[in-house]
Amino acid sequence: MAELTFWTGTMDAGKSTLALQTNHNHAARGRVGRLYTSHDRAGVATVSSRLGLTAEAYEVTGDFDFWRTTVDALTAGARIDYFVCDEAQFYTRDQIDQLAKIVDELQIDVFCFGILTDFRTRLFEGSARLVELADRTELLQVEALCWCGKRATHNARTEDGVMITEGEVIVVGDVDVPKDEPAVVSYEVLCRQHHRRGLTAARARAVSLAPDPLPFG
């Protein structure tokens, strides 16, 4: 039986790497799939991993219809065994409903990968619906770490190096920015305690007057 599976974790936990590996593994066994993404930091219609891996994909826009697109493709003679859906947190509730319908009615496996909560610590629309509907929700096994060494559980957004907690939900940025040259918008993973305090690695360095933040609670 086909399944709808949701793999989730913070930024830096390897979700896009696992999405690409999943696609590779199934394709290597002769299965035919489609790779989807939305708002990837590398650009439109691309799945990218911080390890340097990339692959072309279908871009999921706000008005994209998974059900209609899939039915049209199958009617035209296409073979589809599975979907790999990266950045699934950015999908709409309706699109997640469509993916669940594709699993149930068309017996196509759907593997979704995404972040659970945004920089405000609130559930993304797509992720919330996946938690409600997925046959299985799996936590990524690679643990991202806060600057203090604790397990990172929250995603922080910074603007010019300063952590913010309000603003547009979807703003593309990256966690890989030079320490001394903060991007206009960038992201950092933090433990709950330091997210609550707004204590980023840069701020911790400034407060401690040390080259690297000290492992204090």
β-sheet bridge partners, residue 54: 48
The number of beta carbons lying within 10 Å of the beta carbon of residue 180 is 7
Q: Beta strand 154-159 with 54-56: parallel, antiparallel or unpaired?
A: unpaired
Is the pTM above the cut of 0.85? no
Cα separation, 40 vs 81, whole angstroms? 24
Can you read off the two tokens belonging to residue 168? 């547009």
CA dihedral 168, 118, 156, 19 (to 10 degrees): -120
* 8 Å CB contact between 5 and 111: yes
The number of beta carbons lying within 10 Å of the beta carbon of residue 29 is 8
Residues identified as active-site: 87
> H/E/C letters for each residue in 8-76?
ECCCCCCHHHHHHHHHHHHHHCCCCEEEEECCCCCCCCEEECCCCCEEECEECCCCCCHHHHHHHHHHC
pLDDT of residue 203: 85
Phi, psi of 147 (to 5 degrees): -60, -25
Tell me the domains of the chain and their CATH numbers: 4-139 (3.40.50.300), 154-208 (no CATH)
Can you read off the two tokens belonging to residue 41? 């930091």
Cα separation, 60 vs 41, whole angstroms? 14
DSSP class of residue 90 equals G
pLDDT of residue 26: 97
Three-state DSSP class for residue 150: coil
Cα separation, 105 vs 124, whole angstroms? 26
pLDDT in tens, the chain (217 residues): 999 999 998 888 889 999 999 999 999 999 999 999 998 877 788 888 877 788 999 999 999 999 999 999 999 999 999 999 999 999 999 999 999 999 999 999 999 999 999 999 999 999 999 999 999 999 987 788 999 999 999 999 988 778 988 877 665 555 555 555 555 678 899 999 999 999 998 888 887 744 455 555 5
